[in-house]
Amino acid sequence: MTDVHPAWLPPEAFRAIGSRRVLVHGDGPLAGTVRDEVARACARFGGSLCDGGEADLVLATSDHLPAHARAVLYGEEAGETGAAPGGDEAFPTGRRDRMTGTPDGDENFLVGRRGGVTVVAGEGAGLLYGLFHVVRLGERAFGADFPAERHRPAMRRRMLDHWDNVDVHPVMGQVERGYAGGSIFWADGGPRGDLDRVRAYGRLLAAAGVNAVAVNNVNVHATEARLLTDRLGDVAALAGALRPYGIRVHLSVTFAAPVVLGGLSTADPLDEDVRAWWAGATARVYEAIPDFGGYLVKADSEGQPGPFAYGRSHADGANLLAGALAPYGGVVHWRAFVYDHRQDWRDRSTDRARAAYDHFAPLDGEFAGNAILQVKHGPIDFQVREPVSPVIAAMPRTRLAVELQVTQEYTGQQRHVCYLAPMWREVLGFEPWGPGGRTVAGVAGELVAVSNAGDDPYWTGHPLAQANLYAFGRLAWDPGLGPAEILDEWIGLTFPDTADRLREPLHAIMNGSWETYERYTAPLGVGFMVRPGHHYGPDVDGYEYTPWGTYHFADRDGVGVDRTRATGTGCTGQYPEPWSEVYESAERCPDELLLFFHHVPYGHVLHSGKTVIQHIYDTHFAGAEEVAELRPVWDGLVGLVDPALHARVRELLDEQLRSAREWRDQINTYFFRKSGVPDAHGRRIH
Ligand code: GCW
C-alpha cells in the first residue's frame, strides 16, 4: 500500500488525541482497535497511553469506566451507581434486532468533558465511533467543558455496495461504473491481495460511520457466483480485514445459484431441494464468517435471474434467502430495481418510472422480517434530478433501505466536481405525506450507496469526490446534518494544516456543484440524454429509440414525459397526497421536476417566470459559465494542497469545462433546432 492518499484520516488529524494522556479501557476486538489507533497517534505526537487517574481522555466500555470518568458522564452522585442521565440503562435505544431480539445499542456512545477530562463511553463499535468523533472535534474536544451527549446512528445499517467484478468484465471492466481505477478487493480473476489496503478502506469507512460493505457486483457473473461456495475463503479474508473496524461483509449472490453452483434443475423458491441447498450453502458461509452480514440480490432485472422464471413473486424469492439467513441473524437485501429493459419505444403506456411500485407495492407485508427491500432513491435510475421513489411511501409493513449512488455514473463520472450531499439531503428530508409528515430518513431504516472507491491513489479518482464518500457515511449516521457542515468537517480533516485558508474556496467550488451539473446537463428532471453504454457526455437522442425506457419525447412543439393520471402513464397516482395532486398539475409541479411528470410546449411558463425553452438556454449558458469560474479559484490554491493533488484536480477541471461546454452546445442546439425558438438574449447557438 504505497503512496495511498490518507483521505480524511491523515496522521495530523490525530494530533489533538496523540499529544495527550489517554486511557483506553475495555475488552473485545474493537476496544483493541481503539487502543491501537491511540497508541499510534501518541507515538507520533508525544502523548501516552496511561492507565490511571491522570488521563486527559478516557475511552472505555461502560463496565470499565473508572469512577471519575463515570462522574464526568453521569454526574457526581451517579458516579458510583452507573445510572445514565434520563434513563435506567446506560445505552437505551428502544430498538431491538428483529431477528435476534438483542438490544441494538452497541453503536452508541456517550461523550462529555468536565474538569479537564474528556470521556467517551461506548460498547463494541460505539467506542470506535466515539474515538472518531473526538478525532473530528480535534482540539475542541479538549477545550471548554461540555455536558454528556449521547450519539447514536439514525440508520441501523450504513452500507456501501461495490459493483466490483472478480474477473475483468469484457464491457464493464473490473468495476462496473467504477471511475477510480480497479477494485480494492479483486484483480484479474482473483483477490487483489492487498489486505492492508482493504483494512485502510475499512478504517476510512468507520471514521465516516459506515458499518457494512457488499464486496461484489449485483450483476453476478460466473466467477463471482462462486464467492458463495468454493471462493468463500476470499470473502472471509476481506471480512477479516474489515472486522477490526466494525464493518460486516455482505455478498451479492445470483438467484440461480442452486442451478449454476449446485447442479439442481431448478432455482424455484418454493422447491424443497432449493431451500435445502440455500440452507447448506449459508451454513457454510457462517462457518467461515461468523459475523457475515447477508446476501444482496438483483433479481429479474437487466437480465439477472429471478423468481419470475418460476411464476413466483419477489416476496417468495426474498423469503427463500431470508429463511436461509435467519438462523444466523443475517439479512437479505432485495433490490426493487425491477423493470422491463426490453420495451418498445413506440409503446407509450409502459413506464419505467412506475415499475418498482407496480412490482413491489402489492407485496407489502409479505416479506420476512430479515428481508430488506432496497429501493433506489428515484423511480428511474440515479439521475441528477428525480422525484423520490413512490415505493418509499407505499410499503409500511416492509423493511426498506434507500439506495444512493456515490459512484458518479450519471453525475460526471468523477471527472466533474459534483458534491452530492445536497441532493441526498433533499431526498432524506423529503416528506412523502407532505409538510410536517415523516421524512424519507424517518421511513427508511437503512441507507445504502454504490461506492465510488477503487484502487486509485486518491481512492475516488477525483480527489474532491472523496467528500461524497465521507458525506454518505455521515448522512447515514445523521440525516439532519447540513451538506455544508459535512463538507466543512471533511475539509478540516483532509487538509488539517491549511483548512482555514481552504474552507472558503472549497465551499465556493463544491457547495453548489450539484446544481451546476444539473444546469448544464438534462433539464427539468427529464433525465438521461447521456451517451448510451458508458453514460458520459451528452447524446440527447442516444436512448430515445432504444428498449431501455428512458425517453424525453422532444418534438418540434414540446418535451417531457406525461406521467399524469389524466392523460399519461398514471405514475403521479403512485404518490400519496399532497404529492399525487402536486405532481399531477403542470401548474403546481415544482419546476425542477416538470419534465419528469409532464410533456409541455416550449412556451410553457415556469414558476420562475421563464418559458421552458428559455430556461433550457439560460441554465446551459449559466452552468458552463459556472464551471469556467472554478479553474481560477482552484489555481489560487497552489501551495495549499499537495502539488500532485493540485495537478490532478486542475486537469479534471479542464475536462469538466470541455464537457460542460459540449453539454451546453449540444442541448441548446438540439432544442433550438427542434423548436425554432431563438434565444431571447441572442447568444451563440450552433
Ligand atoms: O444505472 C444502472 C447501471 C448498471 C447497474 C444498474 C443497477 C449494476 O447502468 O450498470 O448495474 O443500474 O443498479 O443494477
Q: Give the model's pLDDT for residue 402.
A: 98
CA 342–ligand 1 middle distance (angstroms): 15
Query: Given the CA of residue 298, which atom of ligand 1 is nearest to it?
Result: 14
Residues 83 and 62: their CA atoms lie apart, in Å, by 11
CA 165–ligand 1 middle distance (angstroms): 13
Segment 260-274, tens digit of pLDDT: 999 999 999 999 999
Asked if residues 466 and 443 have their Cβ atoms less than 8 Å apart, the reply is: no
Q: Give the model's pLDDT for residue 94.
A: 40
Q: Please give the average per-residue pLDDT across 435-461, as a whole number.
A: 97
Q: Give the model's pLDDT for residue 77.
A: 56
CA 450–ligand 1 middle distance (angstroms): 10
User: Could you tell which of 219, 341, 536 is best to mutate to test the pocket of ligand 1, judged by most ligand atoms within 8 Å of the CB?
Assistant: 219
Q: Give the model's pLDDT for residue 137.
A: 97
Active-site residue among 80, 302, 497, 557?
302
Q: Please give the average per-residue pLDDT across 246-275, as a whole number.
A: 98
Segment 637-671, tens digit of pLDDT: 999 999 999 999 999 999 999 999 999 999 999 99
**Residue 164 CB–ligand 1 contact under 6 Å:** no
User: Could you tell which of 175, 177, 411 is best to mutate to test the pocket of ligand 1, judged by most ligand atoms within 8 Å of the CB?
Assistant: 177
**Residue 381 CB–ligand 1 contact under 6 Å:** yes
User: What's the first-to-final CA gap in the chain, in angstroms?
Assistant: 49
Q: Please give the average per-residue pLDDT across 46-53, as a whole number.
A: 90
**Residue 177 CB–ligand 1 contact under 6 Å:** yes
SS3 label, residue 110: strand
The percentage of the chain sitting over the pLDDT mark of 90, rounded to a whole number, equals 93
Active-site residue among 381, 386, 518, 592?
381
Residues 403 and 373: their CA atoms lie apart, in Å, by 10
> Which band of pLDDT confidence, cut at 50, 70 and 90, is reported for residue 106?
confident
Q: Examine the residue annotation and report whether 655 is marked as an active-site residue of this protein.
A: no
CA 122–ligand 1 middle distance (angstroms): 38
**Residue 219 CB–ligand 1 contact under 6 Å:** yes
For the chain, give percent helix, strand, coil, nearest 5.
40, 15, 45
**Residue 163 CB–ligand 1 contact under 6 Å:** yes
Residue with the smallest CA separation from ligand 1 atom 1 is: 381
Q: Please give the average per-residue pLDDT across 337-352, as a whole number.
A: 95
> Which band of pLDDT confidence, cut at 50, 70 and 90, is reported for residue 103?
very low
Query: Given the CA of residue 381, which atom of ligand 1 is nearest to it?
Result: 1
**Global confidence as pTM:** 0.96
**Residue 543 CB–ligand 1 contact under 6 Å:** no
Q: Examine the residue annotation and report whether 36 is marked as an active-site residue of this protein.
A: no
**Residue 62 in grid coordinates:** 461502560
Q: Give the model's pLDDT for residue 75.
A: 86
Q: Please give the average per-residue pLDDT across 375-390, as a whole number.
A: 98
> Which band of pLDDT confidence, cut at 50, 70 and 90, is reported for residue 105?
low
> Which band of pLDDT confidence, cut at 50, 70 and 90, is reported for residue 431?
very high
Closest residue by Cα to residue 22 from 117, 149, 129: 117
Q: Please give the average per-residue pLDDT across 45-68, as a whole number.
A: 93
Q: Please give the average per-residue pLDDT across 378-401, as a whole number.
A: 98
Segment 156-179, tens digit of pLDDT: 999 999 999 999 999 999 999 999
Asked if residues 255 and 299 have their Cβ atoms less than 8 Å apart, the reply is: yes
CA 283–ligand 1 middle distance (angstroms): 30
**Residue 374 CB–ligand 1 contact under 6 Å:** no
Query: Given the CA of residue 301, which atom of ligand 1 is nearest to it?
Result: 14
CA 379–ligand 1 middle distance (angstroms): 13
**Residue 675 CB–ligand 1 contact under 6 Å:** no
Neighbours of 337 (CB within 10 A): 21
**Residue 382 CB–ligand 1 contact under 6 Å:** yes
Active-site residue among 123, 224, 409, 489?
409
Residue with the smallest CA separation from ligand 1 atom 2 is: 381
**Residue 498 in grid coordinates:** 491549511
**Residue 337 CB–ligand 1 contact under 6 Å:** yes
CA 33–ligand 1 middle distance (angstroms): 36
Query: Given the CA of residue 376, which atom of ligand 1 is nearest to it?
Result: 13
Segment 117-171, tens digit of pLDDT: 999 999 999 999 999 999 999 999 999 999 999 999 999 999 999 999 999 999 9
* Phi, psi at 187, each rounded to 5°: -155, 130
Segment 580-611, tens digit of pLDDT: 999 999 999 999 999 999 999 999 999 999 99
CA 401–ligand 1 middle distance (angstroms): 17
Q: Please give the average per-residue pLDDT across 520-546, as a whole number.
A: 98
Give the list of residues 6+ apart from residue 577 with CB closer than 8 angstroms, or none: 433, 434
Q: Give the model's pLDDT for residue 62.
A: 87
Q: Please give the average per-residue pLDDT across 454-465, as a whole number.
A: 98
- Whether the predicted pLDDT of 372 surpasses 80: yes
Segment 176-226, tens digit of pLDDT: 999 999 999 999 999 999 999 999 999 999 999 999 999 999 999 999 999
> Which band of pLDDT confidence, cut at 50, 70 and 90, is reported for residue 52?
confident
**Inter-residue long-range contacts of 224-228, CB under 8 Å, 24+ positions, other chains counted:** 224/165, 224/166, 224/167, 224/252, 225/253, 225/254, 225/256, 225/257, 225/260, 225/261, 226/261, 227/166, 227/251, 228/253, 228/257, 228/261, 228/281, 228/285
Residues 519 and 663: their CA atoms lie apart, in Å, by 10
Peptide bond into 578 cis (omega under 30): yes
CA 68–ligand 1 middle distance (angstroms): 54
Asked if residues 159 and 250 have their Cβ atoms less than 8 Å apart, the reply is: yes
Q: Examine the residue annotation and report whether 106 is marked as an active-site residue of this protein.
A: no
SS3 label, residue 245: helix
Which three-class secondary structure string do you get for 435-492? Answer: CCCCCHHHHCCEEEEECCCCCCCCCCCCHHHHHHHHHHHHHHHCCCCCHHHHHHHHHH
Which residue type does 257 have? A
Q: Please give the average per-residue pLDDT across 483-487, as a whole number.
A: 98
Query: In the predicted model, what is the mean pLDDT of the chain?
Result: 95
Residues 280 and 292: their CA atoms lie apart, in Å, by 15
